[in-house]
Amino acid sequence: MISKTMEQALNKQVNRELYSAYLYLAMSSHFESVNMKGFAKWMRIQAKEEQMHALKIYDYIITRGGTVSLLDIEAPKAKWSSAGKVFDEVYSHEQKVTAMIHGLVDLAIKEKDHATFEMLQWFVKEQVEEEQHASEIVNQIKIVGDIVGHLFYLDHQLGKRE
């Protein structure tokens, strides 16, 4: 059984993962609106991954005899001024999520909750990858700059994500 404090903290993380899904879906929709189908596809797959993250914690709460409480999901913004700005936001958002996961790990340590600590290790590793992928794309966009042809090439490359 998890403590009420941990239950509340994990429920909040379910909400933040669902917000991440919402944010990336908004980014996908934005890219659709500017006809960058590859970026749109990348974001849509990312949104799906975030739903999976939320459900992983959701299932864990239930497995440990806790209660899932779904909270309001705030609406993300809908427009960005450039592909670079979108990915800058992805990177900083993922850094925030990493800090949240680390906060949960700290709480698990404080509560001597070994099972939750173990479950969270998957997320600790996942965040390393999430930050790496976002920062790589930020750098790629910086390299291609405002050259439209190069940006469309990058769009095509990101569209290969499965």
The CA distance from 55 to 143, in Å, is 36
In this structure, what token pair is assigned to residue 24?
A: 């990336």
Closer residue to ligand FEO in complex, CB, 89/150: 89
Question: Is 130 one of the binding residues for ligand FEO (CB under 6 A)?
Answer: yes
Find tokens 């099972």 and name the residue: 115
The CA distance from 54 to 71, in Å, is 12
Q: Are 60 and 10 in contact (CB under 8 A)?
A: yes
Which residue in the set 7, 17, 88, 113 belongs to the binding site for ligand FEO (CB under 6 A)?
A: 17
* Interaction mask 18-37, ligand FEO, x per CB under 6 A: --x-----------------
The CA–CA distances, whole Å, from 68 to 8, 13, 49, 100, 157 equal 9, 11, 20, 18, 39
Q: Are 137 and 93 in contact (CB under 8 A)?
A: no
Question: Is 88 one of the binding residues for ligand FEO (CB under 6 A)?
Answer: no
Question: Is 44 one of the binding residues for ligand FEO (CB under 6 A)?
Answer: no
Closer residue to ligand FEO in complex, CB, 25/97: 97
Which residue in the set 7, 50, 113, 155 belongs to the binding site for ligand FEO (CB under 6 A)?
A: 50
Closer residue to ligand FEO in complex, CB, 146/162: 162
In this structure, what token pair is assigned to residue 113?
A: 């909750």
Closer residue to ligand FEO in complex, CB, 97/154: 97
